[in-house]
Amino acid sequence: MDRNTLKEMVKGTIVTTPTPFDDDLKLDLSRTREITQWWVEQGLGTNISPLKVTAAGGECAALTDEEWLQVIKTTVDAAGSDAIITCGLKTRSTVHTIEDAKKAQDAGVVALQIDLPFYNHPNQDDYVRFFSDISDAIDIGIMIYNTHWFGAPSITAETLLRLSDAEHVFAVKWNTPTLEEYSRMKDFSHIFNVINNGGDPIDCHKMGGIGYKTWSATAYPQHDLDLWKALDECRYEDAQNLLDNQSLLMKGRDKSNLKSGGYRHLKACMTAMGQDVGQPRLPTLPLDEEEISELKQILRKMKWL
């Protein structure tokens, strides 16, 4: 696939999905199939709401290599041939990342989310080599995840421009240490799809961004479908109203993180909305009954419940 095709296939609200586990914290593929079909029925898995499995929010780091591939294959099969499925990869060397990328490609995903190779203490030249080599080896898309908070230098606008010839690099999940650096997206948003990650999705859209990542859509899809529609139509006041309402949920997430980190809030929100997908794997703690009760109160105030 060429870059322009990929840019049309993956944009809008990028939906990070949780990985279902059973009561023994083992992979629950039956539930994976069931919940994937529900997401598709609710309008997710399209080119403006692609599902992103086995990312950090899907506890990729807690999955074995075999489990990682099982989740991808099960999701692709359950979603159907018309659905848009992307996946996250574990952070590895160039050779091993290419091996994983080819496995995901063969399983039917259309694009990959690939972190900066932070374990290798890279520089900007390393980024160009890393992503170019992967692009040359595969036929599906690459969304660069600018994971600078893991200790690697943030990928720069200049480096991204150097990657313009890497045909399968079509998007960047954009977060930077400073607002000044964030605004540099205007230098490359005409080349790559810029997906907001942690900044203001309205500001991102005004500067040429074409999407944002979400975890809440897996529990209540309509909110994010409405939010993207408002952004796409430049109805920024409507978009802000939706974001203001969602801020209650974000405050609940911040409180949750004081007890335990990870992505416990993602699975907790699913449980509170009646779509249980199990608990997170340790060391992340599950939300207890009191926390779930508080979360339900928040969701009622938001009129999601």
Residues of the chain with pLDDT under 50: none
Closest CA to 31 of 76, 78, 66, 65: 78
Distance CA 39, CA 74 (A): 14
Phi, psi of 163 (to 5 degrees): -90, 10
Residue type, 127: Y
Please report the pLDDT score of residue 287 as a whole number: 85
Q: Name the pTM for this structure.
A: 0.95
Helices 124-137 and 94-107 meet at what angle, rounded to 10? Answer: 40
Please report the pLDDT score of residue 255 as a whole number: 85
Give residues with Cβ within 8 angstroms of 207, minimum separation 6. Answer: 183, 185, 186, 189, 194
Give the pair of three-digit tokens for residue 188: 């490359």
Give the pair of three-digit tokens for residue 185: 């997206």
76 belongs to a structural domain: yes
Active site residue 173: yes
Please report the pLDDT score of residue 253 as a whole number: 85
Closest CA to 87 of 16, 172, 168: 16
Please report the pLDDT score of residue 46 as a whole number: 98
What are 290-302's pLDDT values in tens digits? 999 999 999 999 9
87 belongs to a structural domain: yes
CB 181 within 8 A of CB 203: no
Closest CA to 304 of 217, 235, 198: 217
Please report the pLDDT score of residue 45 as a whole number: 98
Give the pair of three-digit tokens for residue 45: 């898995």
Please tell me which residue in 11, 52, 73, 173 is annotated as part of the active site: 173
Please report the pLDDT score of residue 245 as a whole number: 95
284 belongs to a structural domain: no
155 belongs to a structural domain: yes
Please report the pLDDT score of residue 263 as a whole number: 86
93 belongs to a structural domain: yes
**Domain membership of residue 63 as a residue range:** 3-235
197 belongs to a structural domain: yes
Please tell me which residue in 145, 182, 220, 263 is annotated as part of the active site: 145
Distance CA 66, CA 86 (A): 17
CATH number of the domain residue 48 falls in: 3.20.20.70
Domains contained in the chain, number: 1
How many beta carbons lie within 10 A of that of residue 169, not counting itself?
A: 23
What are 196-231's pLDDT values in tens digits? 998 899 999 999 999 999 999 999 999 999 999 999
85 belongs to a structural domain: yes
Give residues with Cβ within 8 angstroms of 241, minimum separation 6. Answer: none
Instruction: Report how far apart, in Å, the C-alpha atoms of 15 and of each of 55, 68, 187, 220, 238 are.
Output: 10, 17, 26, 11, 21
Beta strands in 45-179 (DSSP E): 51-53, 85-88, 111-115, 141-145, 169-174
How many beta carbons lie within 10 A of that of residue 123, not counting itself?
A: 11
Following CA atoms 54, 263, 157, 231 in sequence, which dihedral angle do they give, to the nearest 10 degrees?
A: 90
Three-state SS at 210: coil
290 belongs to a structural domain: no
